[in-house]
Chain A
Amino acid sequence: GAGVSQSPSNKVTEKGKDVELRCDPISGHTALYWYRQSLGQGLEFLIYFQGNSAPDKSGLPSDRFSAERTGGSVSTLTIQRTQQEDSAVYLCASSPDRLNYGYTFGSGTRLTVV
């Protein structure tokens, strides 16, 4: 596609429920990144994919968080048993194999856990 697409744009969920956030990167971009943006906390790196593999999962905050990428394209970030501290904007970005020009970000999914 022309840009990075994320869905849903907003999600309100009850504490304890599971949620899935989707990212559709720019066609042909092999690298895909998930970040979390909390109020006053800047951008926190979560996980990075190169193709379908994840060389760096160091940012996932707990084992309730997981992500996968299939076909070198769409990625899904899953949060199980959501907690209120998971409330944030989840941003996805993609880039060509060589990161000379920075990422292209999607508009994010705003997750609110009530």
Chain B
Amino acid sequence: GEDVEQSLFLSVREGDSSVINCTYTDSSSTYLYWYKQEPGAGLQLLTYIFSNMDMKQDQRLTVLLNKKDKHLSLRIADTQTGDSAIYFCAESLTGNTPLVFGKGTRLSVIA
């Protein structure tokens, strides 16, 4: 079955880059997502990538996909205190199957 793994914690200094990593087991996954959850809030979609892409950039966010290793990463440039949150990686086999989420990586930004 599908499984998504993430490290649970990451701490970085303000202004540095953050890299959050994720591995998934199902090579058939066609859609991969990053969500952000701030305290007391629901999940907010940050970005997504299709499996036929290997990189996507959106302002301070860069997503890298290594299909061979089934590894997805999210890089946040110039990390700010407002980026402190839990970041979830998710995969979906098709456009209509439920997303499978990792347990989330808690990012702490130190001023």
Contacts and interface: CB of A to CB of B under 8 A. Distances in A.
Nearest to B43: A105
Contacts of A4: 42
Interface in A36-83: 40-43, 45, 48, 50, 56, 59
B33 A45 contact: no
Interface residues of A, number: 27
Contact of A104 (B45, B90, B100, B103): B45
Interface residues of B, number: 24
Interface pairs A-B: 5 shortest CB-CB = A42-B103, A105-B42, A43-B101, A102-B45, A99-B95
Contact of B41 (A40, A41, A107): A107
A102 B100 CA distance: 12
B39 to A, nearest CB: 11
A56 B96 CA distance: 11
B40 A107 contact: yes
B82 interface: no
27 contacts: A33-B98, A42-B103, A42-B104, A43-B88, A43-B101, A48-B98, A56-B98, A59-B98, A91-B43, A93-B42, A98-B96, A99-B92, A99-B94, A99-B96, A101-B48, A102-B33, A102-B35, A102-B45, A102-B48, A102-B99, A103-B45, A105-B35, A105-B43, A105-B44, A106-B42, A107-B40, A108-B42
